[in-house]
Structure 1
Amino acid sequence: MTHNNSNGGPDSSAAGPEWPAGFRAYTGHGGLRADGDDISIVVSERPAVSAAMFTTSLFAGPAVVLSRAHAAGRKLRAVVTLAQNANVATGRQGADHAAEVVGRVAGLVDIPADEVLIGSTGVIGRPLPMDTIRAHFDAAGRRGTGAFTAAPQAVARAMMTTDTRPKTAVRTVGGARITGVAKGVGMLEPNMATMLAYVFTDADVPADELDEALRAAVDRTFNCLSVDTDTSTSDTVAVIANGAAGPVDRAEFAAALADLCLDLTLQLASDGEGATKLLRVTVGGARDAAQAKRIAKSVVNSPLVKTAVHGADPNWGRVLMAIGKNTGERDIVPERVTVAFGGTEVYPAEPTGETLAKLTEELRASEVEITVGLGIGGGTATVFGCDLSAGYVRINADYTT
């Protein structure tokens, strides 16, 4: 298995990733934002199998409701994304608009409507500007599928809302390629899925195994991510496999998919709204993995921990607070708990002034790691997030104005 990402990291390729065999993409400006591409479509030229997961929000938007129904058939071939408008809390009109967009895309790429997944992301409570969207699809129809020349980087950019950079990743397994695109930097505390993340592969993988691999990957990656504790109404993650490259080793494919999802997860965490640092929290010695994840999420979601990380303040008391507020976890005993920043234990040890100065310097890095030991059992989990800065407040205070 080989891999690289295309988002400016050490493995990035100047040309960016490519689509797997048999996939094509389109981006264009549909009037959802003032300028720049805001509509994207990715389609497989051949039949495919798919798996998808969606938000558990009670206010799931029409795009999620419609896509859930289509995803149940496990034969999705295309994904259309509308950026800057979530089309949520828009009533019957919103559902009709989502269905119309799907129908137009299906006609454009000549596939059944129930093989199209739709994602819609942005402001909640505003209807889609259908006049401009219709005009856009009318023009796209006149150009035909010859306009489907967009690269993954262009699709990821067209999906952005408050993101500061597009997020893409690619892995290879045998002769097959796996390419992923994602967006999301706020309203991000996944339940069942997260933000918008789409994965496309030319590997030949049976639908049930694809679903199993996706759920396992999401559980260890996207569902271990949190920026601000808020679950979006529009979260969707999906994988489409068209089999053009033939069969691959199933275990290697599952590992590559999980690795790609982790890559995208880290990109999302480090680009959290207002973020200046990636925060990684690992909890070990738990009763089981579920308990470890709960405690780790409690730490990574704490505003006091996040602000301490932002200020490079090695205040381990805030970590203890974040653990201790889980009053239902009766098997956590303070005398057995350990806390470390980086590789330096701060509790129950008593750091010297020299150690504190070193820790402060380490906390100024772009990535910060907090490790907690519970001293109960063998459960472990790692979750990902970011610091909390004044930038987050400014972005969200002014979001719709």
Structure 2
Amino acid sequence: MNSAGAANAAASVDLPAGFACHVGNIGIKDGTDDVMVLAADRVAAAAGVFTKSLFSGASVRRSQANIADGRVQAVVVISKNSNVATGAQGERDAANLANRVAELVGCEPGQVLVGSTGLIGVPYPEGKIDTYFDRLIAGPGPALDSNDAVAAATAIMTTDTHPKTASASAGAATVVGIAKGSGMIEPDMATMISVITTDAEIAPDRLDAMLRRVCDVTFNALSVDTDTSTSDMVVMLANGAAGPVDEAELETALGAVSLDLTRQLAFDGEGAETLIVVTANGARDDAQAKRVAKVIVNSPLVKTAVHGRDPNWGRVAMAIGKCSDETDIDPDRVRIRFGDQEVYPTPATAEALAELEAYLASDEVLISVDLGVRSDGTAGSFTVYGCDLTDQYVRINADYTT
């Protein structure tokens, strides 16, 4: 992982042993890859967290039902169409997609997770998915003939500027994750789409608890624009090919992969030029620290100040002040820093402010806040990840459907 956690994915990242994938173009929107099928060579332990949006898509609901027993063999993701707000046809399309992938892989339809991301309110193009899978299933060789995680990550992109992959080791096992996401990112149990695979052996209930713990401090600590997607899901498959490993090591590896992907997603926010990391400490508990840090990273004024290389700490103070329900926060005990430089309550010198302007031009900017609520070993702390707000973000989203 690089210092900003945001460089383009490596040229080649292999999936763990026992996993293979297929990528291709169905013609959902254009001529770029828009379908990714990833499968294990056996039924795998599986866990997932999904958006809580009231407008969650048919694909999300299908996956939630299919993962309920903790056993999955394949994941399919369609990009450039979310299959959200498409009524009964969308439900049929999600079911049909699971059926076709099951036929391709040789598993049960209930062992297939379905993801879909892109434009809301538009049905899949009629007939194209069936035509594509008919051809794929009838092909002369195995369809899942690749272990290239970068290709898989590329196929699920929408407005992303580069594929996002990360990997780590846990004993004899490997953890590899791919993710997509650039805008409409403010998690609500999950964020964007991420598929994580490992050849470690672990029981589904243990995997589920582990994934949720890690999501809470990585994917659920991410925000680009405060908007929760209708299609969010983070899913993990463990096929056991490498045998059991120390679960603490596995969780550490999963945490490293998830944090790397989180930082890549934040840095690749639509139009973003700067990764913003906000840490709040000295809080009553971790939950309070997270609420305050999120308010700061989500503030349009803080985001634009960073983009403009303006060390305007007053905007950070303003954001903290919006947390009016946190009555134990006393402004006289709060301390604010940009990087290593304290800017409140001790005012920065003119020389220090000039240095901060240069610091804010960095690829990564750290804003830290000591809330002063607690100073002992029970003090809460939390770190969140976001990005600056640029005019390019407005242009990308103003022109999204046209």
**TM-score (normalised: structure 2):** 0.96
Question: Residue 44 of structure 1 aligns to which amino acid in structure 2?
Answer: A
How far off its partner does 1:147 sit? 2.7
Consecutive unaligned residues of structure 1, counting only runs of 5 or more, are none
How far off its partner does 1:144 sit? 6.1
Superposed, which structure 2 residues align to 1:344-355 within 5 Å? 344-355=341-352
User: 8 Å contact 1:4–1:170 — kept in the other structure?
Assistant: no
Matched, 1:72 2:73: no
Which residue in 2 is equivalent to 1:275?
A: 272
Question: Residue 391 of structure 1 aligns to which amino acid in structure 2?
Answer: Q
1:215-235 Cα deviation digits (max 9, x unpaired): 010001000000000000000
Which residue in 2 is equivalent to 1:337?
A: 334
Superposed, which structure 2 residues align to 1:155-194 within 5 Å? 155-194=152-191
SS at match of 1:146: coil
How far off its partner does 1:9 sit? 4.2
Which residue in 1 is equivalent to 2:215?
A: 218
How far off its partner does 1:83 sit? 0.1
Which residue in 1 is equivalent to 2:384?
A: 383
SS at match of 2:43: coil
SS at match of 1:179: strand
Equivalent of residue 291 in structure 1, options 288, 291, 294: 288
Equivalent-residue separation in structure 2 for 1:47 and 1:138 (angstroms): 24
SS at match of 1:44: strand
Question: Residue 393 of structure 1 aligns to which amino acid in structure 2?
Answer: V
Superposed, which structure 2 residues align to 1:1-400 within 5 Å? 9=7, 13-14=10-11, 16-143=12-139, 146-150=142-146, 151-377=148-374, 378-400=379-401
SS at match of 1:143: coil
Equivalent-residue separation in structure 1 for 2:255 and 2:166 (angstroms): 12
- 1:78–1:145 distance in 2 versus 1, CA, 3 Å: farther
1:171-206 Cα deviation digits (max 9, x unpaired): 111111111000001000001111000101110111
User: 8 Å contact 1:296–1:383 — kept in the other structure?
Assistant: yes
The number of equivalent residue pairs is 396
SS at match of 1:117: strand
1:100-156 Cα deviation digits (max 9, x unpaired): 111000011110001000000000011111311111111111126613123110110
- 1:76–1:376 distance in 2 versus 1, CA, 3 Å: same
User: 8 Å contact 1:4–1:13 — kept in the other structure?
Assistant: no
User: 8 Å contact 1:182–1:195 — kept in the other structure?
Assistant: yes
Consecutive unaligned residues of structure 2, counting only runs of 5 or more, are none
- 1:145–1:204 distance in 2 versus 1, CA, 3 Å: farther
Over the aligned positions, Cα root-mean-square deviation in angstroms equals: 1.5
How far off its partner does 1:326 sit? 1.0
User: 8 Å contact 1:310–1:387 — kept in the other structure?
Assistant: yes
1:150-174 Cα deviation digits (max 9, x unpaired): 3110110000000000000111111
Equivalent-residue separation in structure 2 for 1:22 and 1:351 (angstroms): 56
1:32-72 Cα deviation digits (max 9, x unpaired): 12111100000001121111110010000000111000010
Equivalent-residue separation in structure 2 for 1:145 and 1:264 (angstroms): 33
**TM-score (normalised: structure 1):** 0.97
**Bigger shift: 308-317 or 127-136?**
127-136
SS at match of 1:313: coil
User: 8 Å contact 1:180–1:197 — kept in the other structure?
Assistant: yes
SS at match of 1:53: strand
Equivalent-residue separation in structure 2 for 1:255 and 1:179 (angstroms): 13
